[in-house]
């Protein structure tokens, strides 16, 4: 049997036809597809450090200075950091972060960020041993824009903690010469009625593989309340929507990006033509169309949107994935 061949002489085999599917991203806590919820952390926060009183004890790189405050009198100024050095906040006793809190929030202002740098965060036990995963702060912000305060919100589940913790460590990895101002480190408790919320797209079992062909993000709201050229009221996405590819069993993030403003959205998504209904509702779609076979989703390698803002002021925001289905043995 003869096959068509490439220029190098290799045979070209026909690709199998796959059954097609469409599925909404669904909330991991209750299984619904509702996205426009209040993603802000609920309850009264527990302060780790805010420069105004004695909470957790800081050590390592940096010092409290008046000029580095986001609010109040003092913030934490790292100064120019040595490579792979760190700042540690010590709570003095072991606490159950996983069982008691949903998110860690703090303010960050980048002063210097040399090419190749990386800013990591992790929890430690009382003797300084790592507990769970390190997370890369770049996952939760748009970029390290100089001299701009950004609120960083990290779901506690992202740390994959395996036990109680006592210390929080910030690691200035890869390159020397980084500098940041930090302020208002706070833990937000469970059961407070807020997020962050995770919306997940996954295959139903280990014998199913989804080849992603397109991802669609839809937003609708009253036309008088927003401009279709500026992705709804972008102020309602002050923390942004995180889209990421995650290995559930290990917590590894294969890739991630945060869409926080118009440049992020229009630079990473393809905006579709808007549509205005007779009742004044304006619908706008955004599309991501990856290269063929570039994104594969299983019940362990999953896609997730993280909502950390209050989106309840937007009438509707949804995400769907289009895919081809492969059965594996």
Whether residue 62 contacts residue 178, with contact meaning beta carbons closer than 8 Å, is answered with no
Distance CA 111, CA 178 (A): 8
Measuring CA to CA, which residue among 232, 320, 275 is closest to residue 35? 320
Judge if 213 and 232 occupy the same domain: yes
Judge if 256 and 240 occupy the same domain: yes
Mean pLDDT of the chain: 86
Measuring CA to CA, which residue among 43, 159, 183 is closest to residue 108? 183
Q: Give yes or no for residue 242 having a pLDDT over 60.
A: yes
Of the candidates 168, 189, 210, which is a domain's last residue? Answer: 189
Judge if 34 and 64 occupy the same domain: no
Whether residue 281 contacts residue 164, with contact meaning beta carbons closer than 8 Å, is answered with no
| pLDDT for the residue 232 | 46
Across the range 224-245, mean pLDDT stands at: 66
CATH of the domain at 57: 2.60.120.260
| pLDDT for the residue 175 | 97
Number of domains in the chain: 2
In a domain, 7, yes or no: no
In a domain, 32, yes or no: yes
* pTM (two decimals): 0.81
In a domain, 163, yes or no: yes
In a domain, 13, yes or no: no
| pLDDT for the residue 154 | 92
Q: Which domain holds residue 59?
A: 46-189
DSSP for 295-326 reads: -EE-SSEEEEEEE-SB-TTSSEEEEEEEEEEE
Query: Which range, of 65-74, 197-206, 277-286, 300-309, averages the lowest pLDDT?
Result: 277-286
Across the range 155-162, mean pLDDT stands at: 91
In a domain, 300, yes or no: yes
Judge if 34 and 118 occupy the same domain: no
Phi and psi torsions of 264, nearest 5°:
-65, -45
Q: Give yes or no for residue 4 having a pLDDT over 60.
A: no
**Confidence at 47, pLDDT banded by 50, 70, 90:** very high
Of the candidates 189, 206, 223, which is a domain's last residue? Answer: 189
The token pair at 105 is 């929030």
């Amino acid at each position: 049997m003869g096959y068509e061949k490439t220029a190098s002489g290799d045979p070209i085999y026909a690709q199998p036809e796959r059954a097609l599917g469409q599925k909404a991203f669904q909330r991991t806590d209750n299984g619904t597809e509702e996205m426009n919820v209040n993603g802000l952390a609920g309850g009264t926060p527990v302060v780790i450090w805010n420069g105004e009183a004695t909470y957790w004890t800081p050590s390592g790189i940096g010092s409290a200075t008046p000029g580095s405050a986001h609010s109040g009198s003092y913030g934490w100024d790292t100064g120019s950091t040595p490579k792979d050095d760190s700042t540690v906040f010590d709570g003095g006793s072991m606490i159950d972060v996983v069982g008691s809190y949903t998110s860690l929030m703090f303010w960050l202002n980048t002063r210097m960020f040399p090419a190749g740098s990386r800013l990591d965060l992790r929890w430690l036990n009382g003797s300084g041993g790592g507990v769970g995963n390190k997370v890369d702060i770049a996952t939760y912000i748009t970029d390290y824009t100089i001299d701009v305060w950004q609120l960083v919100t990290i779901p506690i589940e992202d740390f994959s903690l395996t036990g109680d913790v006592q210390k929080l460590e910030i690691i200035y990895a890869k390159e020397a010469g980084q500098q940041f101002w930090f302020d208002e480190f706070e833990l937000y408790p469970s059961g407070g009625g807020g997020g962050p919320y995770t919306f997940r797209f996954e295959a139903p079992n280990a014998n199913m593989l989804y080849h992603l062909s397109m991802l669609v993000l839809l937003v609708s709201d009253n036309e008088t309340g927003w401009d279709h050229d500026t992705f709804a009221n972008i102020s309602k996405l002050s923390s942004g929507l995180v889209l990421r590819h995650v290995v559930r069993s290990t917590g590894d993030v294969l890739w991630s990006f945060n869409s926080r403003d118009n440049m992020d959205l229009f630079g990473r998504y393809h905006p579709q033509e808007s549509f205005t209904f007779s009742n004044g509702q304006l619908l706008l779609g955004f599309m991501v169309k990856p290269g063929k076979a570039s994104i594969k989703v299983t019940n362990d390698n999953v896609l997730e949107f993280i909502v950390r803002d209050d989106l309840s002021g937007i009438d509707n925001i949804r995400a769907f994935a289009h895919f081809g289905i492969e059965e594996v043995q």
